[in-house]
Homo-oligomer: A and B are copies of this chain.
């Protein structure tokens, strides 16, 4: 998606440790017009798949997901990072290691909001190692829901998570696919 790639080149910041910071339009400050355009692109890509639930993870995924939900006219559920190690019987739970923060979060979704009738589109801002995607897929599977695919804003292709998920049979659509990034800049696929 040209619009997103250009914005990454203009406003993205590369930090040490392979972190791409896109805080000024997607992860802290949000550009509603850009995110709406992204949501419409996900609608175009997954139209006809019978999507009836959008699943994301707090916090950065929520802004994209709510606009995707508006396009598909279906509910959006965001997995919560659990503060407690004691997971109640009323939730589905999965472990998600964080690439950026170097820790592991338990993410949970209430059993009330994912079920076997759901055709789930997973939405997230970044795809790197694929850990969040694996966790969200696990939540959907626990509910017996079908995952029609994942819509990702920015995929760091060189970290391999996206291709692993595709090899495992998941449809993954990323709006900006980064082949490499280093001190010389960012190259898209």
Q: Which residue of B lies closest to A83 (CB)?
A: B101
In the complex, are the beta carbons of A32 and B66 less than 8 A apart?
A: yes
In the bound complex, what is the Cα–Cα distance between A28 and B79 (angstroms)? Answer: 7
- Which chain B positions have C-beta within 8 A of A59? 58-59, 62, 78, 80
In the bound complex, what is the Cα–Cα distance between A64 and B121 (angstroms)? Answer: 21
Shortest beta-carbon distance from A43 to chain B in Å: 12
- Which chain B positions have C-beta within 8 A of A74? 32
- Which chain B positions have C-beta within 8 A of A35? 66
In the bound complex, what is the Cα–Cα distance between A75 and B101 (angstroms)? Answer: 26
User: CB-defined interface of A58-75 with B at 8 Å, one 1/0 digit per residue?
Assistant: 110011011101100111
In the bound complex, what is the Cα–Cα distance between A63 and B58 (angstroms)? Answer: 11
In the complex, are the beta carbons of B63 and A33 less than 8 A apart?
A: no
For this complex, 30 residue pairs linking A to B, each with C-beta atoms less than 8 Å apart, are A23-B110, A23-B112, A23-B113, A24-B112, A24-B113, A28-B77, A28-B78, A28-B80, A28-B109, A28-B110, A29-B76, A29-B77, A29-B110, A29-B112, A30-B65, A30-B69, A30-B77, A32-B69, A32-B75, A33-B70, A33-B73, A35-B66, A58-B59, A59-B80, A62-B66, A63-B63, A63-B66, A63-B76, A66-B66, A67-B70
